[in-house]
């Protein structure tokens, strides 16, 4: 029997987090205590130098091993939870319950099939006159039985898939914790070297030889230090978030460094575990040109009101001239009066979904970008993407500026949604071309801009049929659309396609 209770997993996660926090605190105490002791020691000579060398090398290495073990446990448990949710969904599952449900469906299907056979046998036993008299009713009954069998088969297949996924996860579950045994072994090895007891976690006095400490033979310290160099630090996690976002947006080389610069500045006080969510929201306040360069609109108040357009942080004279022809003076006056309220509302809105530490003052996001070109994005933040505290402030500011969400756009500028739509099919094709998509997928195409209601769509091998993003079939020819495997259906859901 395989049973997964999400409530128990949450309790397990809380216990693991508590243990890891204690382990981290113990490692930090050990590190600081060792440093303090080294500073307090006033002895010199061979013995003194031996003691200081030992304290400055062995105990800090043990502290690192403890921190590595805590990180390994946390990451393994998170991967375990994420793996289950990815494969089985966010519901508790029990293999015995699923097997019983499958058995019930089997019995129902068998009963319906028997009824169908009996009805058919009885109908054939009737004479021609009777068959003609009851033909309509007979067909209706048989159609109902056939439909009921099909419905039960579909539901049984859904339960079977849940069971298959649960058993597959269970069979692979131990592998999530392989790294934990490795990090535990490294930590316990250090405890033993220092004369401690791995069973209690007590740390010993090390290898005192009466005149000093003897550094142990072996490469334990080297292995710890090598692991420490490659650990997943907050800086690495931040870098990964930005690199993933740059890849999603398919920014050109000229825009990458500028993107990192403006994001790092805006998020410098935001906790690392909130970076991914914060970047997704701030991306919606960016504007781009057709090539993906990042534009910023900066209001200026000398020699008459106007704007400067920056491309990747550098003034673009051609776009600046064009922009000042496209923005009218009356709206600019309203902007100057109400822009501070708009920016404050956006920050409040992001805080409303738990993103803390944001300070947009003096950053890309504090200039005229939000109001002049990104007012539609600000409206999206307030209305469709996220809601809560600050949303009313944003909407009110947009109203005072005198424009409706989405109505202020320079002809050369695209918002985040435009950029995301442009790059999305390219990202899907990268999966297909690199072999990461299931077999049977040929390519992804964007919907034609000159065709009404056109959608992004997927082409399949050996078929003229295509699947639109909303789950409807397109390019249909004669015959039936291609049969999609379970793996292919899951992949389509993962990339945001509705199933047919």
Q: Are 251 and 262 in contact (CB under 8 A)?
A: no
For residue 159, the model assigns a pLDDT of: 93
Same domain, 220 and 279: no
For residue 49, the model assigns a pLDDT of: 64
Same domain, 97 and 207: yes
Sequence-distant (≥ 6) Cβ neighbours of residue 54 within 8 angstroms: 206, 212, 213, 215
Same domain, 195 and 59: yes
Same domain, 365 and 470: no
Given 383, 416, 449, the domain boundary residue is 416
For residue 391, the model assigns a pLDDT of: 46
User: Per the domain annotation, does 154 fall within a domain?
Assistant: yes
For residue 303, the model assigns a pLDDT of: 39
Same domain, 324 and 397: yes
Q: Which two tokens stand for residue 230?
A: 């490659």
Which spans in 41-177 are helix H? 45-88, 95-125, 128-172
Query: Any idea what DSSP says for residue 384?
Result: I
Q: How far apart are CA 159 and CA 165, in angstroms?
A: 10
User: Per the domain annotation, does 428 fall within a domain?
Assistant: no
Same domain, 280 and 394: yes
Same domain, 60 and 119: yes
Q: Which residue has the tokens 């991967």?
A: 79
**Mean pLDDT, each 10-residue run in order, the chain (500 residues):** 84 85 80 61 57 72 87 85 82 92 95 94 91 91 92 93 90 85 88 72 55 64 85 80 84 90 85 83 79 76 58 80 63 54 53 58 56 37 38 48 40 56 68 78 71 72 78 71 83 82
Cα radius of gyration (the chain): 32
Q: How far apart are CA 169 and CA 96, in angstroms?
A: 16
Which of 477, 482, 480 lies closest to 442, judged by CA? 482
Q: How far apart are CA 57 and CA 363, in angstroms?
A: 43
For residue 198, the model assigns a pLDDT of: 67
| Number of neighbours of residue 146 by Cβ within 10 angstroms | 13
- Counting the structural domains of the chain, the total is 3
Strand 441-445: give its sheet, edge to edge.
Answer: 441-445, 457-460, 466-468, 473-474
Query: What H or E segment, with its residue span, contains residue 349?
Result: helix 329-351
User: Per the domain annotation, does 499 fall within a domain?
Assistant: no
Same domain, 226 and 239: no
User: Per the domain annotation, does 248 fall within a domain?
Assistant: yes
Range(s) of the domain holding residue 15: 1-232
Same domain, 463 and 400: no
Q: Is 53 exposed, middle or buried (0-12, 13-18, 19+ CB in 10 A)?
A: middle
User: Per the domain annotation, does 423 fall within a domain?
Assistant: no
For residue 413, the model assigns a pLDDT of: 54
Q: How far apart are CA 167 and CA 340, in angstroms?
A: 56
Same domain, 15 and 112: yes
For residue 78, the model assigns a pLDDT of: 83
| Number of neighbours of residue 33 by Cβ within 10 angstroms | 13
Q: How far apart are CA 346 and CA 397, in angstroms?
A: 10
For residue 107, the model assigns a pLDDT of: 95
The interaxial angle of helices 45-88 and 220-229, nearest 10 deg, is 50
Q: Which two tokens stand for residue 304?
A: 């008459």
Given 416, 447, 472, the domain boundary residue is 416
CA atoms within 13 A of residue 232's CA, in its CB half-sphere: 14
Same domain, 242 and 224: no
User: Per the domain annotation, does 76 fall within a domain?
Assistant: yes
Given 206, 232, 258, the domain boundary residue is 232
User: Per the domain annotation, does 424 fall within a domain?
Assistant: no
User: Per the domain annotation, does 427 fall within a domain?
Assistant: no
Q: How far apart are CA 373 and CA 129, in angstroms?
A: 78
Same domain, 209 and 98: yes
Q: What angle do CA 318, 321, 327 make, to 5 degrees?
A: 135
Strand 306-311: give its sheet, edge to edge.
Answer: 314-315, 306-311, 294-300, 287-288, 414-415
Phi, psi of 359 (to 5 degrees): -135, 100
Phi, psi of 300 (to 5 degrees): -130, 150
Phi, psi of 448 (to 5 degrees): -70, 125
């Amino acid at each position: 029997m395989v049973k997964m209770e999400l409530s128990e997993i949450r309790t397990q996660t809380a216990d693991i987090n508590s243990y890891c926090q204690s382990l981290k605190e113990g490692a930090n105490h050990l590190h600081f205590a060792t440093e303090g002791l080294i500073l307090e020691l006033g002895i010199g000579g061979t013995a003194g130098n031996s003691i200081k060398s030992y304290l400055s090398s062995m105990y800090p290495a043990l502290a690192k091993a403890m921190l590595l073990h805590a990180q390994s446990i946390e990451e393994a448990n998170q991967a375990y939870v994420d793996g289950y949710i990815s494969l089985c969904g966010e519901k508790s599952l029990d293999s015995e319950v699923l097997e019983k449900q499958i058995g019930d469906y089997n019995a129902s299907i068998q009963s319906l099939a028997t009824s169908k056979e009996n009805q058919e046998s009885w109908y054939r036993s009737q004479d021609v006159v009777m068959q003609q008299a009851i033909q309509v009713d007979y067909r209706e009954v048989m159609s109902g039985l056939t439909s009921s069998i099909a419905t039960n088969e579909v539901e049984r297949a859904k339960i079977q898939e849940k069971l298959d996924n649960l058993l597959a996860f269970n069979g692979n579950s131990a592998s999530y914790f392989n790294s934990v045994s490795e990090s535990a072994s490294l930590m316990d090895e250090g405890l033993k070297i220092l004369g401690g007891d791995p069973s209690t976690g007590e740390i010993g006095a090390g290898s005192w030889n009466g005149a000093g400490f003897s550094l142990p033979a072996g490469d334990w310290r080297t292995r710890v230090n090598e692991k420490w160099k490659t650990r997943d630090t907050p800086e690495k996690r931040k870098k990964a978030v930005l690199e993933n976002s740059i890849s999603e947006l398919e920014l050109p080389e000229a825009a990458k460094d500028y993107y990192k610069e403006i994001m790092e500045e805006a998020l410098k006080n935001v906790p690392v575990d909130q970076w991914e969510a914060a970047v997704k929201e701030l991306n919606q306040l960016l504007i781009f040109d057709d090539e993906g360069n990042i534009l910023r609109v900066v209001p200026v108040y000398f020699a008459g009101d106007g704007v400067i357009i920056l491309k990747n942080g550098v003034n673009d004279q051609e776009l600046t001239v064009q922009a000042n022809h496209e923005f009218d003076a009356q709206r600019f006056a309203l902007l100057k009066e109400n822009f501070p309220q708009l920016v404050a509302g956006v920050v409040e809105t992001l805080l409303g979904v738990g993103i803390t530490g944001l300070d947009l003052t003096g950053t890309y996001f504090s200039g005229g970008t939000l109001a002049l070109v990104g007012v539609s994005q600000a409206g999206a933040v307030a209305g469709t993407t996220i809601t809560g505290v600050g949303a009313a402030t944003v909407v009110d500011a947009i109203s005072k500026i005198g424009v409706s969400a989405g109505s202020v756009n320079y002809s050369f500028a695209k918002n985040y949604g435009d950029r995301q739509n442009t790059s999305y099919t390219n990202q899907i094709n990268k999966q297909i071309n690199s072999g990461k998509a299931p077999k049977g997928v040929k390519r992804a195409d964007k919907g034609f801009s000159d065709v009404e209601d056109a959608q992004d769509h997927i082409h399949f091998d050996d078929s003229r049929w295509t699947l639109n993003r909303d789950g409807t079939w397109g390019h249909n020819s004669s015959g039936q659309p291609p049969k999609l495997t379970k793996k292919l259906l899951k992949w389509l859901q993962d990339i945001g396609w509705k199933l047919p």
